[in-house]
Amino acid sequence: MDKVSHLHGLYLVTPDWDDTRKLLEITELALKGGVSLLQYRHKTADAALRQEQAECLQALCRSYQVPFIINDHIDLCLSINADGMHVGGTDKSVAEVRAIIGSDKILGSSCYGDLALAHAAQAAGASYVAFGGFYPSKVKKYPVTTAPTIVSDWKAQGKVPSCVIGGMNKENSAPLVANGADMVAAISSVYLAGDPQAAARAFVNLFPA
């Protein structure tokens, strides 16, 4: 699997669902719609549930040839040999995580609305940088203060792909993709959609083939 080529399109992030069967069913529908990258993020799960869900999701992703990465938990990433990690502003630094997981895994970094953070993350070994929030989110709580122009600024300055996150739907993410966003991260717009496969496909269709 060429992991770098998957850093383009719909970047699906899991919700805090304890129902593993439901999580897998909806995720598979989304994968059928064309997800490029899946991040496992469950902020309230205990270690046993995280392990179970991560192993099941990874097996599902591998059947669709989609990279699977873990939010925050380096030990979990290493124990199941996931395809990579995503770290936020309060987690270990990009440099620390890169040193632990090695050079071959995907590593993403939350950079909010700060180009300086993005440049530092890139220099420390990030595979992609994530900007946001741009819009109010049903899931993640953060200031909605990121300027849309950061996407085009990064396109002109940065060397690694960018991802946009925060209340994304196919309408409000379209101008960010037009400005150069390489990936759109979504949670509720897919997982809570009446037709998750169609919702995923709608995001995919924002990107040139």
> Is residue 140 among the annotated active site residues?
yes
Flag whether 5 is marked binding: no
Angle between helices 115-124 and 149-157 (to 10 degrees): 40
- In whole angstroms, what is the distance from residue 53 CA to residue 175 CA? 34
Q: Spot the catalytic one: 36, 50, 109, 110.
A: 110
Flag whether 110 is marked binding: yes
Flag whether 91 is marked binding: yes
Flag whether 93 is marked binding: no
Q: Spot the catalytic one: 41, 50, 105, 170.
A: 41
- In whole angstroms, what is the distance from residue 118 CA to residue 122 CA? 6
Q: At 199, give phi and psi (nearest 5°).
A: -65, -40
Flag whether 70 is marked binding: no
Flag whether 188 is marked binding: yes
DSSP labels, 134-188: -S--SS--------THHHHHHHHH-SS-EEE-SS--HHHHHHHHHTT-SEEEESH
Flag whether 3 is marked binding: no
Angle between helices 115-124 and 94-101 (to 10 degrees): 30
- In whole angstroms, what is the distance from residue 174 CA to residue 123 CA? 28
Flag whether 187 is marked binding: yes
> Is residue 41 among the annotated active site residues?
yes
Q: Spot the catalytic one: 36, 140, 170, 173.
A: 140
> Is residue 110 among the annotated active site residues?
yes
Flag whether 155 is marked binding: no
Which residue numbers are catalytic?
41, 110, 140
Annotated binding-site members: 39-43, 71-72, 91, 110, 140, 167, 187-188
Annotated binding-site members for Mg(2+): 72, 91
